[in-house]
């Protein structure tokens, strides 16, 4: 019984851990996309301030160049995280499925043993009352 409970607890922990991982990845992707959008705004503001929009022009803002590079890095990181997110979602779904398969198999046995116990105790109590 204890080994079954331990195995169930372990599967529940794994499922919770994988769900947390999915949530963390989703949060990171949202943060990266938000930062990239903010950098886009900053780049546009810098281009309007300097009046130079051509990235190959010698007078193009170094701040705008570095912000564009950072934005591109964030977008590529977000794309990589999307791939990791898809894999993590599959792992989470598999863990949840394993947990759901493990949970019903443990419950009927527990219910059967719980049903048997009151019958035995009720027989004993009536038997003790008859003595």
Residue 106: the pLDDT is: 44
The answer to whether position 125 is within a domain reads: no
25 is in which domain, residue-wise? Answer: 2-116
Residue 111 lies in a domain: yes
Task: Determine the average pLDDT of the residues in 34-46.
Answer: 97
> Binning pLDDT at 50, 70 and 90, where does residue 109 land?
low
21 contact partners, CB below 8 Å, separation of at least 6: 88, 91, 92
The structural domain count of the chain equals 1
Write down the pLDDT at residue 104: 56
Percent of the chain with pLDDT over 90: 66
> Residue 83 corresponds to which tokens in the numbers above?
């791939």
The DSSP output letter for 57 is: S
Residues 6 or more apart from 40 whose CB is under 8 A from it? 71
Q: For residue 115, what pLDDT band results from cuts at 50, 70 and 90?
A: low
Is residue 57 situated within a structural domain? yes
Average pLDDT, the chain: 85
Query: Is 76 among the domain residues?
Result: yes
Please work out, in degrees rounded to the nearest 5, the angle formed at the alpha carbon of residue 113 by the alpha carbons of 111 and 119. Answer: 105
The answer to the question of residue 121 being in a domain is: no
């Amino acid at each position: 019984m204890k080994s079954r409970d331990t195995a169930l607890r372990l599967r529940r922990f794994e499922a919770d851990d994988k769900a947390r991982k999915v949530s963390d990845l989703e949060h990171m992707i949202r943060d990266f996309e938000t930062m990239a959008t903010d950098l886009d705004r900053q780049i546009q503001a810098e281009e309007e301030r300097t009046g130079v929009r051509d990235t190959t022009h010698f007078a193009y803002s170094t701040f705008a160049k570095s912000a564009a590079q950072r934005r591109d890095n964030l977008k590529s990181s977000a794309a990589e995280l999307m791939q990791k997110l898809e894999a993590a979602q599959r792992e989470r779904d598999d863990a949840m499925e394993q947990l759901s398969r493990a949970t019903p198999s443990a419950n009927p046995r527990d219910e059967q043993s719980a049903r048997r116990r009151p019958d035995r105790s009720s027989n004993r109590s009536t038997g003790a009352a008859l003595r």
